[in-house]
Every structure is written in C-alpha cells, then in structure tokens.
Amino acid sequence: MGIWSKAWAQACRPISRLTGSQWADKFRVVASGTSPEAGMWRTSRTPYLQEPMDSATDRRTEMVVMCCSSQLGKSEMLLNIMGYYADQEPAPQLMLQPTVEMAEAFSKERIEPMFQNSPGLQGKLEEGKDGRGSAKKSSTTIRMKHFPGGYLALVGANSPAGLASRPIRVLLCDEVDRYGVTKEGDPLKLAIQRTQNFGNRKIILVSTPTIKGASKIDDWYERSDQRRFFVKCPHCGEEHVLQWANVTWQKDDEGNALPMTASMHCPECGCITRGAYKPDPKLLQSGRWIATNPGSKIKGYHVNALYSPWVNLHDLVEEFVSVNHNRDKHGLMEFVNLKLGEAWEEINPDADNWEQLYNRRESYPANGVLPEGVLLLTAGIDVQHDRLECTVYGWGVGRECWGIEHRVLYGRPDDPRTWQQLDAVLQRQHSMPNGVNVAVACACVDSGDGTYTTNVYQYTKARERMRVFSVKGRGGIGVPFINTPTKSNAMKATLFTLGVDSGKSLVMNRLSVQEPGPNFAHYAAQEDRGFSENFFKQLTAEVLEKHFEKGVVKMAWKKIRERNEALDCAVYATAALELLNPNFEYLADFYQNGGALKQQTAPRRSRGTLSKGITL
C-alpha cells in the first residue's frame, strides 16, 4: 500500500475512543536508557499525569497548561500525547523547545526511540519509499517526522523561522519559561498563531516556572482553572494538597537538621501521611484534580516534586536545609522553581537602604590587617572615560564577604600610568591575622565601554597568568552569570561574558542578609578604605522592576540613581570569585596551619569548556 493509500485509510478510520492515558498504557513503550523506568508505560506510576494526558486528547479541551517541578515525568507525558496524535488522530504537530540544539537532542534521544519501540508507532515514520516501493529521498529528518496523515516538526524558540507558513493542529511547548524574545517577536505567541486555522486545535504548554511576573507558564496557569492534585489522608480521609508547609523534620542536640527524620503531615488531623522516602503509591492513587478557579476554559495543572515517585523526601529536606544554612538565595530560588514548581517572588531590598548599609560598617583591624575570616581576595574594576574604579573584596566560608577597599584611580584609560595605579592595588600585599600575606587572587575588568576596549584587552592579556580577565555584560533575566570565554578579539585576550542581571541579583541578595555569617556583606568603617555615603548610594542604585517588551512582561534592573559604579564593581568581583570557585573549607584548614598560597596560573581549558574554577 502506498503512502497516500495509507493516509486515506487513516483518514477514513473511525476516531478511537481511547483517551491519551489509555493509549499510552496500551501502546507506549519507554525505551531503555531514556527513563529511570524502561518498558511498557504505566500511568498508575504517576496518577497525577492521567487527567492532563486525557485533557490534551479530549475534543472538548483546547488548551492544557502544566506548571510543575522537575522529575515528574512531564517529558514522557508530552511524548505520550505526541504518540497518541501520530497513531490515533494523525495531524500536523509541532514541538517547540527552547533552542534548536535541544529540539534536535529531544528528537534523537526521546522521539526516535519512542517510534522504534512502541507497538502503536512502529513503522509509521516514512521509510524513504515511494508509492511503488522504489527508493527515494526520505522527508523524515531529525527536525521533521512524516507519518501517514500528518507530520511532527521540531523547532527551537531561538530560531522561530521554522514556524513561518506552517499550519499546526497540535502544538506541544516544552520549558516555555526558557523561551527568549527574538527579533521576530515572542516565539510562543508566534507558535500559537500557527494553530488558528484549526477549530479542533490543541495547545499544550509545559514548564517549570521562573520569576513571578516574568514567568510565562505561571502567567498562563493564573489564566487557567488552576487545578491542584488533592490526595486523601489515610487516617482521617480528608483531601489535601501536598505542600512544603506540611513537611517537618527533627534536629539533634546541637540544632542540626536530621533529614532522615523528615515526614509530611495531614493539615487536617496532623497525622503522618508520608515518611522520609518516596511517596506511598496508594496515597498518589487516591488523588484527584480539583479546579480552584472554575470557569476558565483553559485547563491548568500544578504539581510539585512531593508527588514524584522518584524523589525521596529526605533529599528535598537536605537540599532545603543546605541552601538556608548558606543563605543562598539563588539556591533557594532554584529549590522553589525546580522542586516546588512555584514562581519565585523577587523581594527587593529597600531601594534607599544605603543608609542602613552605611551605618552598619565595622572597624577593621589596624595596620591593614584583614578581618578574621577572610581567606581570599578578588577585585572588580569599572572603566570610565577619566578614571578606573576598583573594589577589593575578601571572601570566607559560606561566601561571607568583606569590602576591603574601594579606590578611584584618576586618569584616562589610554594612559599607561592609569593602569600602573591599578597594578599597585591588585599587587598590594594584605596581612592575614596569622601573618600570612596575600594579594588579589583574581580580578575582572569591564571591557564594555567601547572607547577603551582595546586598552582593557592589552592590560588583561599581559596579566592573564595572574588571573586578571576582561569581562563584558549581557543583560536579561535567566542569562547565566558566567559564560564560556572567547578570544575572538584582535588582542586574543580571554573575554568572559557575564549575565549581569544574575550578578546583580547575587549582590542584592547578599546585601539583604542581616546577620553576619554565610553570604553576609561587611564593609570597613575607616574613611581611608573608600566606603563613603556615595559608595553605598552607587551600590544600591538599581532595583528590579517589571516592564512590557513587545507585549510580554519582563523583569529588568532599572537605575534609580545615575551613578552605579560600586554596584558594577561588586558584580565583577563576584564574577572573579565564581571563576576561581575555591574550596573555602580547604583554605581555612590550610591557613590555620600557617600555610600560604603558592602563585599558580590558570590551567589550560579545552576549547569551548567553561572554567570549573582555578585550583588554589
């Protein structure tokens, strides 16, 4: 039978009464090496996925939104929906991934094994034969899968040209919060527009959320009927949602958390509903989805890692305790996003808290001795037309930091004498309390001015073996703080691109810590150290605000004061720390024994490999 005959037979076949979950249980095989559980798909392992799959294949439902944590099987759910429409209701499908590379990897690693191993899909992809059985060039590629009656296109949100002039009935969008806005516009909006010609279209959006106000999936979930998965307490029978607020654990006599004692309690009767390990399958099977915002035509589902059959409760507690002990707000944000499946609500310190920071300055030891706890020095340098500004920071266990000195070095950046002043600051020997002398271990110099970029490259190129590097900023929430270095400039100087929005969040979160310890920021009270009122006004000169860009809500840092050099210096000094990635516990033990750091050079990196830190 030729391909067109097959297509006609498929089109004339009565519509199956199987739901999406029934099809998956009957026909879907999870290939070995693609999932922690290979073999025939069993919806009973993840009961919370049954209704979302059935809604996505229900003719009465147009849009399904799933806002969730990681490790819940959401990728397998998308594959099941994809397989259902390839087998039961063939139609044009499109899967949108954050990048082209991710789309190709998903195709090779997940989609192709599904078609090869699942009985309902085997043999459906075009085999490169024409209707008479003669060989021809196959139209099935990594990013385009043809099957009788339809096709599956895979597109990266970073290259939305693949959306043009392509009508789509079934749209599958994975990790939508990682889609950027391109010159063509918002790729999610463009993709949804491609479905408008189909009265029976299906739009499925899946993602872990990011920052409140900038999270696409959180915004779509807010528009939906906001379903939650309620389970029955095995003791009192009351239905409730599994929430982090109901997780408890014990502590030892010294106040240290004991994750292995973790348990979850029913909010109604207080009885234990889950122990420290994986959830009881009976608890999950007792669950049902309940809409908390009935009336919306969009079906929205929210579920977190507490429901995952692959996640131990004690592992979640251990991670939570660790980020809280270290006052790691970035780690806490990841926990809230990736484990709780909730959008992070960014709370800015008071924009005018410069006075509080100024008033809490401390008197450092006399004669330039470093404060107790400092194990390492880094510096950040901002380049202006008539000067350089440099802040030296000390770092200790838990990334507790100390502002050591802030220097304004007057002179044009194209004058060698200006850079000689910077050499004096970076090479200055600072005494530790045990008598060991240390200098700045790593410094990052802003090259983004444009006018003096070549001068910056000349300076850092000659000092790379002393760990002095050029950096330039790249804006955008979600851009990684440290990115792969390049040497594509004329000077062949190593250049690191910094996600400055991420860096500013790190700095501001540090300034919001109120008690000395991990992530707390100290500053010297001595006037000759340079930490004046003006310094703290510059340090707090920006706030994170919402704004609209091409109709999309975005988060961005906005100046509330013109001068922000101190903030930029803090970001660059923090980047220098991340490049080093030191082991502070090792350094603390080392210095306690009276040791001193040997001067070492940065190890050679293989091309395209991001630094994992310079060994000290």
HEC secondary structure over 469-504 = EEEEEECCCCCCCECCCECCCCCCCCEEEEEHHHHH
Neighbours of 232 (CB within 10 A): 18
Q: Do residues 464 and 562 both lie within one domain?
A: yes
pLDDT at 7: 52
Domain with residue 181: its CATH number is 3.40.50.300
pLDDT at 329: 77
pLDDT beyond 90 at 180 = no
Domain with residue 478: its CATH number is 3.30.420
Q: Do residues 204 and 113 both lie within one domain?
A: yes
pTM of the model: 0.69
- Alpha-carbon dihedral sign for residues 587, 592, 593, 594: positive
Q: 28-32, 538-542, 602-606: lowest mean pLDDT where?
A: 602-606
Report residue 3's pLDDT band, with 50, 70 and 90 as the boundaries.
low
pLDDT at 347: 61
pLDDT at 5: 55
Question: Is 170 within 8 Å of 152 (Cβ atoms)?
Answer: no
Q: Do residues 410 and 531 both lie within one domain?
A: yes
Using a pLDDT cut of 70, give the percent of the chain over it. 89
pLDDT at 598: 44
256 assigned to some structural domain: no
Q: Do residues 382 and 464 both lie within one domain?
A: yes
Instruction: Express each pLDDT in 433-447 by its tens digit.
Output: 988 899 999 999 999
Q: Do residues 308 and 358 both lie within one domain?
A: no
pLDDT beyond 50 at 599 = no
588 assigned to some structural domain: yes
Mean pLDDT, the chain, as a whole number? 87
Q: Do residues 418 and 297 both lie within one domain?
A: no
Q: Do residues 429 and 491 both lie within one domain?
A: yes
Phi, psi of 559 (to 5 degrees): -70, 135
221 assigned to some structural domain: yes
Report residue 251's pLDDT band, with 50, 70 and 90 as the boundaries.
very high
Question: Is 470 within 8 Å of 463 (Cβ atoms)?
Answer: no
pLDDT at 139: 63
Tally of domains within the chain:
2
Give the residue among 244, 250, 357 at the shortest CA–CA distance from 307. Answer: 244
34 assigned to some structural domain: yes
276 assigned to some structural domain: no
6 assigned to some structural domain: no
239 assigned to some structural domain: yes
416 assigned to some structural domain: yes
The better pLDDT of the pair 159, 441 is held by 441
Six-digit token string for 309? 């059959």
Q: Do residues 438 and 553 both lie within one domain?
A: yes
pLDDT beyond 60 at 602 = no
pLDDT beyond 90 at 412 = yes
The better pLDDT of the pair 339, 36 is held by 339
Averaged pLDDT, 469-477: 88
Q: 29-38, 98-107, 193-202, 408-417: lowest mean pLDDT where?
A: 29-38
Q: Do residues 569 and 488 both lie within one domain?
A: yes
Alpha-helical segments (H) within 98-227: 100-106, 112-117, 187-193, 216-223
Q: Do residues 442 and 542 both lie within one domain?
A: yes
> Which residues form the domain of 209?
16-123+139-244+289-312
pLDDT beyond 80 at 448 = no
Instruction: Express each pLDDT in 363-396 by its tens digit.
Output: 999 888 999 999 999 999 999 999 999 999 999 9
Q: Do residues 580 and 442 both lie within one domain?
A: yes
Report residue 489's pLDDT band, with 50, 70 and 90 as the boundaries.
confident
Instruction: Express each pLDDT in 583-592 by its tens digit.
Output: 998 898 888 7
Averaged pLDDT, 402-425: 97
C-alpha 589: how far from its chain's center? 33
Residue 40: enclosing H or E segment and its boundaries?
strand 39-40
- Which burial class, exposed, middle or buried, applies to 454 when counting CB atoms under 10 A from its CB (0-12, 13-18, 19+)? middle
Among 257, 278, 312, where does a domain finish?
312
Instruction: Express each pLDDT in 546-556 by its tens digit.
Output: 665 544 556 78
Q: 279-293, 339-353, 541-555: lowest mean pLDDT where?
A: 541-555
pLDDT at 15: 52
Q: Do residues 307 and 407 both lie within one domain?
A: no
